[in-house]
């Protein structure tokens, strides 16, 4: 499944000023990302504000995105939840047309044990009509998927093809990259340390920053994957401050501010999220002009 090597972008969902989905801006974003050279796109992950979209809105966004992408790049659907039965039902009902995989974050809020996480993903794997990419993001879910659990899932289910790893734990990464099956993909879910993770054996990134800087970020990742870390370092360090600003007041508030400055979409979010402060927005504009 090396087709998921490189840069994937966890796309924002643009909204109009009244909070409705802005499909014209979504088309503009998709075209910008593909023109920028990214390898694949992720629709309705956390960055897409999936938590505040209705089921009908998700269905419409998924369908529109597949049509807009038109198989120009690979496409991944974010489908997750903390109610396993409901998540499985959503996956079974999902129209896979135009999609290549499902990205599913581990359950939030419930704080399941590792066995509970395993059983959750077991149910998803047995129901999924597409390959599954796990997603470990303990800063949002409240629990971490251990290296042992990930390796167990990778060995037990051939349609679980990788994990988006955003724990930030190099101890976990060391164990996971040492013990995983050879063809199981570890994908960075943490923009600031993607270079470091690829040096350890990750195959790429699912990026937030890439929404605004698709060409710069995907070029850096390709250099990393080619072993040209010295060449990648200049780009990496030129994006350090911009990347920090993307998350300083929350995601996707930061990257939507950057996209507004670029004229791609507005910075409207759905409550409880709000736009970044004017001070941060000004800093983001300044950094956009400095990134190489």
Residues with catalytic function: 135, 164
* 115 neighbors 85 (Cβ within 8 angstroms): no
Q: How far apart are CA 254 and CA 244, in angstroms?
A: 9
Tokens 């340390």 locate to: 193
What's the angle, vertex CA 139, arms to CA 136 and CA 142, rounded to 5? 80
Q: Under 8 Å CB-to-CB from 153, ≥6 apart: which residues?
A: 118, 121, 122, 125, 134, 160
Three-state DSSP class for residue 42: strand
Which residues share a beta bridge with 74?
40
- Residue 23, both tokens: 């499909």
Q: What is the largest CA-CA distance in the chain?
A: 49
Phi, psi of 194 (to 5 degrees): -65, -40
Which among 31, 3, 21 has a CA at the least distance from the CA of 58? Answer: 21
Complete DSSP assignment for 97-132: TT--EEEEEPPPSS---HHHHHHHHHHHHHH-SS-E
Q: How far apart are CA 235 and CA 253, in angstroms?
A: 23
């Amino acid at each position: 499944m090396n087709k998921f090597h490189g840069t994937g972008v966890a796309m924002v969902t643009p909204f109009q000023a009244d909070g409705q989905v802005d499909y014209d801006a979504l088309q503009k974003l998709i075209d910008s990302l593909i023109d920028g050279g990214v390898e694949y796109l992720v629709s309705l992950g956390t960055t897409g504000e999936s938590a505040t979209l209705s089921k009908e809105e998700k269905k419409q966004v998924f369908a529109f995105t597949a049509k807009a992408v038109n198989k120009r790049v690979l496409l991944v659907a974010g489908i997750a939840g903390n109610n396993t039965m409901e998540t499985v039902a959503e996956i079974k009902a999902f129209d896979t047309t135009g999609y290549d995989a499902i990205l599913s974050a581990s359950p939030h809020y419930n704080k399941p044990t590792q066995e509970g996480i395993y059983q959750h993903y077991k149910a998803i794997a047995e129901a999924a009509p597409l390959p599954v990419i796990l997603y470990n993001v303990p800063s949002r879910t409240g629990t971490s998927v251990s290296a042992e659990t990930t390796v167990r899932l990778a060995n037990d289910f051939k349609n679980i093809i990788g994990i988006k790893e955003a724990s930030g734990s190099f101890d976990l990464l060391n164990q996971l990259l040492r013990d995983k099956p050879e063809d199981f993909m570890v994908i960075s879910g943490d923009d600031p340390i993607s270079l470091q993770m690829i040096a350890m054996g990750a195959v790429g990134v699912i990026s937030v920053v890439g929404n605004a800087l698709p060409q710069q970020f995907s070029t850096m990742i390709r250099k990393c994957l080619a072993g040209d870390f010295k060449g990648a370092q200049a780009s990496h360090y030129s994006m350090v401050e911009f990347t920090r600003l993307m998350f300083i007041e929350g995601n996707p508030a930061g990257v939507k501010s950057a996209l507004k400055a670029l004229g791609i979409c507005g910075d409207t979010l759905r409550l409880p999220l709000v736009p970044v402060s004017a001070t941060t927005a000004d800093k983001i504009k300044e950094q956009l002009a400095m990134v190489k």
